[in-house]
Amino acid sequence: MFISGLIFKIVIILSLLTFFLKDKKLKAITLTSSILFTAITTFFCFNAFANSEAVSLKLDLLLWTWSGDSYIVIDKFNSIFIILYNVISLIGILYSFKYIENFDSVSTKIHYFALLWLQYSLFFIVVTDNFVNFLTAWEIMTITSFFLIIYDLKPQTIKVGINYLIQMHVCFFLLLFGFSLMLKYTGSYQISSLANADMFSNHAYLATISLLLLGFGFKAGFIPFHAWLPKAYTTAPSHISGIMSGVMVKMGIFGLLKVLLITQSNLLLLGSVIIIISIITGIYGILQATFQNDIKKLLAYSSIENIGIIGIGIGLFLIGKVYNNVYMQSIALTAVIIHIITHSLVKSFLFFITGNIYKTTHTKNINLMGGLIKKIPATSTMFITGMIALAGLPPLCGFFSKFLIFYTSYSNIFNDNFYKTIILLCVIIALGIISGLSVFAFTKASGIMLLGNKRSNVEYNSKMDNNIYAEVILLSIILIISLLPAVLFNFIFNIVCSVNNIFVEKIYYQNLQEIFIKINIITVIFAAIVTIIYLIRKRFINRNGFEKQATWGCGYTAINEKMQYTSTSMSDNLFDLAKPLIKKNVTNINFKDKEVFPKNKRLDYKTEDYADMFINKLIYFGELIIKKFAVTQTGKIQHYVLYAFIFLIIVFIISFL
């Protein structure tokens, strides 16, 4: 343990060095400390996987030890999270070397320092059980991610950053309040003491759990607490968006799981509420995504949708726990973990790819792009692959978790409880709608961005297709997982059962394993059919010959790229249905009636988010109230002395009461 403590110290000292170095040395030092940290934590994790007991370590390095011991616990469950975010952070750092241009500036140095500390803080969030340590690490995560978001230091970026910081602190205080309640009733600093429901009075227990769930839900981006998420993702550099959506949002889910795994009472209520909120989150998220024209915003809203799917899984787990159904519990939780893993990998992968696209086109507006597949074929192919995985279509890995959630829902639909049947029916319908809409959103995004002709006069440069090693690493991880669903399922399922002390008969999970193997077989058959037909097609086309001509224009020959379908026009079809949920602002129409020769006119469509509008309204009223107090700011010294005097008198009076 001495060596590991030493390595932790070295890693921290290395992270401080980022301030003094530049260019290649900066890259080298960042990469070294990240790799060192990943190596040591992964070593602990493999240790945990090998042992049946959880590994607890005492690290003398931890400074914040006043509130009790400084043990960290690494068990199989949090090892999954540790490995996941370490891999993604590491690849994110690798990717950033290509994305960031200026390695001399102070902001870059701060950026890398924050990036490293984000990675460290995530580890401590996952492993600590003491809530003071937990919140400290949580705060480090918030502040570092704030610095990461405001990298380019434009006024607009800083505004978004501060918005993010404030909303995250609302989340922080909710957590603090919840944990304080816990401390009051149990007298313990350990988060695991939440399991002693009998130490609370009934309402206090529900209040504590709800506060914690609200706090973690804020971080995870459940509706209506999601307003920070699309803004922050859109503004941050692409590798940061990738790390944030792949890792940081999942910390909210981790917190939810941590609390819910040990919650003892009110499970039916909590489960139902979580399922309802998740269904709303999923459908609203993907609906918003369908209408977005900004590719990063689209991906951000799709993150919200995926959080919804994860939430549905968590809710099913709780419902299963209420009815003592071990199969439902274990499979739903497995689905949750698999979804977390696949979504983290796929979403960060897509954000990295989007970074490439942004660097190529210098715009994030889908409507201006087109024809990228001819300019940057490697990036485009990877983008389509990622989109298929994200839409949850087989044979890629996004399908497995959706399949498992469907599996639990359908297998338990013929139970004898009416309430449960209705909930499962809602889950099935919601998942159906979500998958349908995600196919809509992602075909729109990939089709309009990559295919067709260029829709505007933006300049493309094809440099970004050159060194794509970071993306290729991530893609190969995704493909490996896609090819080995049975192994992944077996691994996660065993961990889930050991965490929950669930005993599941072997026949049952062998059945599921066989299903995954059969899915693999179908994938192979499918690939074989595609290959055979493709080869036959090639022969036919070679025999019959082919010719290239202009696109069919219904008799009109002067067809140009302005006549192509755009992102806005593609999603416009759906708008009639989605009207009650989506607000659309149309700006800048000022056609005058008597204009004989009309000049160029511009028409802007923008969809708005109700949560965002609510927060803006809140800020507006807050400003109004604060402005009332501006009267006191007279600038005369005697007035300020008077204020101090009044203050003293008030204190004096209060002390007598």
Partner 1 sequence: MIGIILIIILTFFFPGIINRTKSILSGRKGPVILQPMYDIRLLLNKKSIFSNTSSIITQVGPTIYFASIVTSLLFLPFGSYSSVINFDNDFIYFIYILAFGKFFMVLTALDAGSSFQGMGASREVMYSMLIEPAILILIGALSMITGYTSFDEIFKFMDFTNNSYYLVTIICCYILVKFAMVENSRLPIDDPKTHLELTMVHEVMILDISGFDLALIHFANALKFTIFGSLIANCLFPPNSNILVLTLIFIVTQISFAVIIGFLESFNPRNKVVKNPQYLLTISAISLLAFVIALILTNKIT
Q: Within positions 436 to 495, which residues make up the interface with partner 1, using CB under 8 A?
A: 436-437, 439-440, 442-444, 446-448, 451-453
For partner 1, the closer CB: 532 or 648 = 532
For partner 1, the closer CB: 341 or 445 = 445
The C-alpha atoms of residue 355 and residue 364 are separated, in whole angstroms, by: 9
Question: Does residue number 393 form part of the binding site for partner 1 (CB under 8 A)?
Answer: yes
- Angle of CA points 59, 253, 275, to nearest 5°: 150
The helix (run of H) or strand (run of E) holding residue 63 is none
Shortest approach of partner 1 to residue 509 CB, angstroms? Answer: 12
For partner 1, the closer CB: 325 or 571 = 571
Scanning 179-187, 376-384, 477-485, 626-634 for contacts with partner 1 by CB under 8 A, the matching segment is 376-384
488 neighbors 338 (Cβ within 8 angstroms): yes
Instruction: Tell me the chain's radius of gyration from C-alpha atoms.
Output: 27
For partner 1, the closer CB: 107 or 510 = 510
The count of C-alpha atoms lying within 13 angstroms of the C-alpha of 576, restricted to the half-sphere facing its C-beta, is 3
Q: Return the amino acid letter for 66.
A: W
Interaction residues for partner 1, span 636-655 (CB under 8 A): none
Contacting residue, 414, 503, 597, 629, with partner 1 by CB under 8 A: 414
Shortest approach of partner 1 to residue 544 CB, angstroms? Answer: 5
Contacting residue, 186, 192, 421, 494, with partner 1 by CB under 8 A: 421
Shortest approach of partner 1 to residue 506 CB, angstroms? Answer: 16
For partner 1, the closer CB: 162 or 429 = 429
- How far is C-alpha 322 from the geometric centre of its chain's CA atoms? 29
Scanning 269-277, 358-366, 391-399, 494-502 for contacts with partner 1 by CB under 8 A, the matching segment is 391-399
The C-alpha atoms of residue 169 and residue 218 are separated, in whole angstroms, by: 10
Enumerate residues 6+ apart whose C-beta is below 8 A from 85.
119, 122, 246, 247, 250, 344
379 neighbors 465 (Cβ within 8 angstroms): yes
For partner 1, the closer CB: 260 or 376 = 376
For partner 1, the closer CB: 161 or 392 = 392
The 3-state DSSP class for residue 491 equals helix
Sign (positive/negative) of CA torsion 218, 79, 257, 265? negative
Shortest approach of partner 1 to residue 421 CB, angstroms? Answer: 6
**Beta strand 583-587 pairing with 604-608:** antiparallel
Q: What is the largest CA-CA distance in the chain?
A: 102
User: Which of 624, 640, 641 lies closest to 632, judged by CA?
Assistant: 640
The count of C-alpha atoms lying within 13 angstroms of the C-alpha of 422, restricted to the half-sphere facing its C-beta, is 5
- Per-position x/- string for 200-219, each x denoting binding to partner 1 as judged by CB under 8 A, each - no binding: --------------------
User: Which of 387, 297, 378 lies closest to 347, judged by CA?
Assistant: 387
For partner 1, the closer CB: 183 or 458 = 458
Residue with tokens 């799981």: 257
Scanning 42-50, 92-100, 237-245, 515-523 for contacts with partner 1 by CB under 8 A, the matching segment is 515-523
How many residues interact with partner 1 (rule CB under 8 A)?
86
Contacting residue, 83, 378, 413, 458, with partner 1 by CB under 8 A: 413
Contacting residue, 435, 470, 504, 609, with partner 1 by CB under 8 A: 435
292, with CB counted inside 10 A (0-12, 13-18, 19+), is buried
Question: Does residue number 383 form part of the binding site for partner 1 (CB under 8 A)?
Answer: no
Residue with tokens 């500036």: 105
For partner 1, the closer CB: 248 or 332 = 332
The helix (run of H) or strand (run of E) holding residue 584 is strand 583-587
For partner 1, the closer CB: 563 or 649 = 563
Interaction residues for partner 1, span 534-573 (CB under 8 A): 534, 537, 540-541, 544-554, 559, 561, 563-566, 569-573
For residues 619, 623, 625, 627, the Cα torsion angle rounded to the nearest 10 degrees is 180
Interaction residues for partner 1, span 573-612 (CB under 8 A): 573-574, 576-577
The C-alpha atoms of residue 102 and residue 98 are separated, in whole angstroms, by: 10
Shortest approach of partner 1 to residue 340 CB, angstroms? Answer: 20
Strand partners, 190: 130
Question: Does residue number 370 form part of the binding site for partner 1 (CB under 8 A)?
Answer: yes
For partner 1, the closer CB: 390 or 615 = 390
Shortest approach of partner 1 to residue 390 CB, angstroms? Answer: 11
Scanning 170-178, 327-335, 365-373, 456-464 for contacts with partner 1 by CB under 8 A, the matching segment is 365-373
Scanning 42-50, 125-133, 268-276, 406-414 for contacts with partner 1 by CB under 8 A, the matching segment is 406-414
DSSP state of 261: H
